[in-house]
Chain A
């Protein structure tokens, strides 16, 4: 008699556990659409690449364009800025990695690794301070080229005082990383596609 009761109890427990498990799986799966809907939608993903014509940017000039809702700095650097950037020793850098989507993760932050295709004239990077996301101001700070009263190159973040050099590398202040270089490629000598 007692074994029969036990068997019945076991069957009962199994039924309850199975039902609970099936219900829990369903609840978890139901949650997914509600979470997933907050991810970038198809129209946002489709807009993720833009093309930029570099020809109108004169040496020493910089433009800012919007990509994925963020500013991208495109600077046509002067020879002096490039020279200054190249003269910096890696061990003097606060963040010695390139932080570029165009090279391997962890590659050194040499000036070559901060640009693409050896075209060292053009520096393309996110205009987003790696500290807390403000937009650094160009031609400011202690790490640009100084000729008389004129500063060229280098960036200074007004929010918390981070300073970047002429290759957009962090040199001073609270920001932990170099300005990020997005994935981009040259479609022609004067045309790039970002994204």
Chain B
């Protein structure tokens, strides 16, 4: 990570330190002076927002672990002990549970931003793939965290999700037994989930370090997708982007606070305030909102094994995205057809989310059951249509589009683009 730093230690101590551990040079080169395209818009602030959310989850999580008891007989009551007795326990717990949702809101915006502006394309494939890995680890972490309060949805969510692995041919049953440490989700499961829920965020932090490293080799993409041609195209990260990100972070904190203080249970499932009961399944099992699209894909396919493969495939396909997109133009701004298809894809993902939220055989967005053996617009059918659209976006649409679409002319450089926007020849529309 050699940066464009011309760091010169000023004090005697700085010099002494610099000869032994040039950490200040690293900070100055990679964090303060790092040349960053001058045209990044607010969609780019979500990287910084995500870093803040990771820290928020780590800090609140570490203190919650000081009061939580990972035992099936005590877990639920220990969470309520946090809510009722621990000083500011209610705040820390609500910050942590809502923080998970905020983390996912930010990561989804971040991923869609990367897709729209082609941030996954050469030379940033590895950066993108580390990002997908981060997303996978996030999902695993959040899933295990949701099990810890040991409410009804914790238990049944854990049971359903771990049962996914039983779809693996031949060894499926052994794998689930191994995951559970028994014949069902029980105390051994809860204990290992707690251990891993504490461990994985630090793995995440490490991956984030790699993600930033991989970002700082080629440097940031930007809304035009045009490479940086020289110092006229960039500004130092500090103070330009520290302040822009800082503003965005505080605005995001406003949203976070609104949920934490005024609707702390809105994003969760009410039934999770009922202690886990292994003898009674809730009438309707849904995962947390951030998993719903994948849950819809799982339910769209009547075959267990293929359903599970499709669900994992829908995430793993993101690893192949850099090679599925054949267009040589990075930014969606200059790809008229891609731009429209991208927004359709966003709508498809949201539709999948809704398709995953309701009982499969009810009419879509209603609580009325559809009569069986007939053709009805049910949650399941909508999920099936949207799942087909989801995969079609990656293949064959993206590869074909790159070959067929004729992109708009690109600006010669970032600074040309900035200047052109500054002095529009015609009044802005």
Contacts and interface: CB of A to CB of B under 8 A. Distances in A.
Q: Do A and B bind each other?
A: yes
B91 interface: yes
Given A33-B92, A41-B89, A42-B84, 5 more contacts: A32-B88, A34-B63, A38-B66, A41-B87, A44-B85
A37 B85 contact: no
Contact of B91 (A33, A39, A41, A42): A33
A177 to B, nearest CB: 30
B59 interface: yes
B92 A41 contact: no
A43 interface: yes
30 contacts: A32-B88, A33-B87, A33-B88, A33-B91, A34-B59, A34-B63, A34-B92, A36-B87, A37-B63, A37-B66, A37-B67, A37-B87, A37-B88, A37-B89, A37-B92, A38-B63, A38-B66, A39-B87, A41-B67, A41-B81, A41-B85, A41-B86, A41-B87, A41-B89, A42-B84, A42-B86, A42-B87, A43-B81, A43-B85, A44-B85
Contacts, number: 34
A32 B59 CA distance: 13
A41 B82 CA distance: 9
B299 to A, nearest CB: 40
A130 B87 CA distance: 30
A42 B83 CA distance: 11
A12 to B, nearest CB: 12
Interface of B: 59, 63, 66-67, 81, 84-89, 91-92
Nearest to B64: A37
Interface of A is mostly: helix
Contacts of B66: 37-38
Between A33, A34, A36, A38, the greatest number of chain B beta carbons within 10 A of the residue's beta carbon is seen for A33
A37 B59 contact: no
A39 to B, nearest CB: 6
A36 B81 CA distance: 15
A30 to B, nearest CB: 10
A120 to B, nearest CB: 40
**Pairs of residues from A and B, 4 with the lowest C-beta to C-beta distance, nearest first:** A33-B88, A42-B85, A41-B85, A43-B85
Contacts of A38: 63, 66
Interface string A2-34: 000000000000000000000000000000111
A41 B81 CA distance: 9
A39 B63 CA distance: 12
Contacts of A37: 63, 66-67, 86-89, 92
Contacts of A32: 88
B86, B89, B91, most chain A CB atoms within 10 A: B86
A57 to B, nearest CB: 34
A38 B86 CA distance: 8
A32 B87 CA distance: 10
B81 to A, nearest CB: 7
B84 A36 contact: no
B253 to A, nearest CB: 10
Contacts of A44: 85
Contacts of A34: 59, 63, 92
